[in-house]
Amino acid sequence: MAGRSESGVSLKLRVQPKAARNQVVGYQGDTLHLRVTAPPEASKANAAVVSLLAQTLGIAKSRVRIVRGHSSRDKLVVVESLAPREVKQRLNAPGGAVNPPVVPSS
């Protein structure tokens, strides 16, 4: 689930590297599941995660930052410049996530 942090909206992620395609799968509980084609070596999968989220949310890659889980499938990402409601709407838009969470209004 998306939550508000001091520097933006925080998202808990579960990433599947070396997938057949880059895809925002959707939420399972409070964790957003992503699939990326990049392998989990030399930060290639992390770069793919940042790129996929930025593209899905329609923001610059510099506005998406991995704050925890750089070498793990479970990550905490902060999205800057968007409110939780905007993140929910953009993930719920066509081409966005399936089963988006209910994000409290700010």
Which architecture, in CATH terms, is 3-92?
A: 2-Layer Sandwich (3.30)
Q: Which of 8, 3, 6, 2 is nearest to 78 (CA)?
A: 8
Q: Render pLDDT for 16-31 as a digit per residue (tens, 0 to 9).
A: 999 999 999 988 989 9
Looking at the whole model, is its pTM more than 0.85? no
Q: Render pLDDT for 81-103 as a digit per residue (tens, 0 to 9).
A: 899 889 988 887 766 654 444 44
Domain positions in the chain: 3-92
Q: Render pLDDT for 39-72 as a digit per residue (tens, 0 to 9).
A: 999 999 999 999 999 999 999 999 999 999 999 9
Cα torsion angle, 8, 13, 16, 19, sign: negative
